[in-house]
Structure 1
């Protein structure tokens, strides 16, 4: 069996310069995913719930696009040793220097372990993984809507849109004003920022829907992008269908391998042929908002 697998692997993935079994020259292999030990540069609390982690990795590991994620091997903490790696959305990256940023909320043993990291510590990472956001098309102005740590993946997307000359309106949702994260990154680039919070009473999907209808009427919403709230996703999906707007959502899902092999992150999606199942880690985590079900 091992011999058969070895020859099958050679036929499918021969060495560069050799030929496939079909006689077609094999293209050079260019890896897009790295597994390596990265060095912690900083790891600081930004408010009562969220932490900002910056690591030094290789240029290959840092060559990520907004919406992609990494699998992090979290260290043990408080007597608990996380067995599985934790998926973490990209918050920022600089391939030239190899620096990668994450924004995370401390909720369980894995993220508690992350919060114990200090500068010069090492952390095992795997990534970048998954499919990120797509800004293709004739977009003039987009709206990003996120809640909580879901804002982490939207900040680099908004910056990429700004660099591409696309206008951005950001609706940032949280329980209270002090828990809104990334507002400074949106404001710094001259984007229109609309903060909404539970304590102020304007974070309800119905209120946000009216704000979005106003933006659509004003021709300031060519596409919708979201992450972080199932309630918002339902409302945004309905608006996208009603106004025939393109939209994308980055889904948050528990994962094990992050590579599409274990099938533990499968979810249902709508298609022209009915309901289909897809793997969030491999087919996403970014999906067409109109195809995404609860």
Structure 2
């Protein structure tokens, strides 16, 4: 059942030209939060924008009873969210959706992400580090200034590689070469990705070639986040047939091989 929470904001600061970082006190929450899940946050106290915005979880700090969000300021909703001050209350619905699965047999995983999708996979790297699973991450962004989660992933124990448009290293061919090297050299058990259709298709192709399982976290615009409005529908391919699912309810994390990437 979806639950609304009114929780204290501890920090809400600008960390680059386009990104902000917010920390929320979750000491009054009873629900367990998993990597890959999200919260539907009311960004403004005004009548407009009316709809909430979905935010993936950046870090889960169970000992401190806090969660963190790394968010891209893109429209009126996120612009209003930047005005929230420490001590004020955040209005959240969640945690929502199904998160990532780390098989007990995994000892080496490979993450690939672009843009704000990097924040989504950070919590997975955190969980992998906690469970002793080795993690390598290839992070893609416009510029080095957008690679905000790189140090965080390194703090979690991940080996981080970065590619950027400004360095002309983010092309699919370049990323594929790196992925093949890591998969073969480290005997990777699974692939995880978020934030780019090109990277998603590349992950699907390499997962099929190397016989690896994988998961993808999808980013979609949402209206209600409870499955009623069907604004966030995507297609899965199962047994040769397409089936439409709601990212908010059945996702946002899906088996890599099933998602139809347009």
Instruction: Give the TM bin, normalised by the shorter chain.
Output: over 0.9
> What is the correspondence of 1:1-294 to structure 2 with a 5 Å cutoff?
33-60=2-29, 63-75=32-44, 81-294=48-261
1:248 Cα offset (Å): 0.5
Aligned-partner SS, 2:85: coil
1:259 Cα offset (Å): 1.5
Number of the residue aligned with 1:14 = none
Aligned-partner SS, 1:139: coil
1:143 Cα offset (Å): 0.5
Counterpart contact for 1:61–1:127, Cα < 8 Å: no
> How far apart are the structure 1 equivalents of 2:252 and 2:100?
9
- Tell me the TM-score normalised to structure 2 length: 0.94
Counterpart contact for 1:90–1:100, Cα < 8 Å: yes
Counterpart contact for 2:234–2:245, Cα < 8 Å: yes
Unaligned runs of at least 5 residues, structure 2: none
Larger radius of gyration: 1
1:206 Cα offset (Å): 1.2
Counterpart contact for 1:34–1:61, Cα < 8 Å: no
1:185 Cα offset (Å): 1.3
Residues 151-204 of structure 1 deviation map (CA, whole Å, 9 limit, x = unaligned): 111111011111111111011111111210211112223321101111111111
Residues 201 and 62 (structure 1), Cα distance of their counterparts in 2 relative to 1, 3 Å cut: farther
Question: Which deviates further from its counterpart, 254-263 or 46-55?
Answer: 254-263
> How far apart are the structure 1 equivalents of 2:166 and 2:254?
31
Residues 95 and 137 (structure 1), Cα distance of their counterparts in 2 relative to 1, 3 Å cut: closer
1:227 Cα offset (Å): 0.6
Residues 62-97 of structure 1 deviation map (CA, whole Å, 9 limit, x = unaligned): 6210000000011158xx821111110011223454
> How far apart are the structure 1 equivalents of 2:253 and 2:83?
30
Aligned-partner SS, 1:144: strand
1:262 Cα offset (Å): 2.0
Counterpart contact for 2:36–2:57, Cα < 8 Å: yes
Question: Which deviates further from its counterpart, 84-93 or 55-64?
Answer: 55-64
Counterpart contact for 1:61–1:98, Cα < 8 Å: no
Residues 57 and 159 (structure 1), Cα distance of their counterparts in 2 relative to 1, 3 Å cut: closer
1:141 Cα offset (Å): 0.6
Counterpart contact for 1:62–1:100, Cα < 8 Å: no
Q: CA RMSD in A?
A: 1.7
> How far apart are the structure 1 equivalents of 2:145 and 2:221?
27
1:57 Cα offset (Å): 3.2
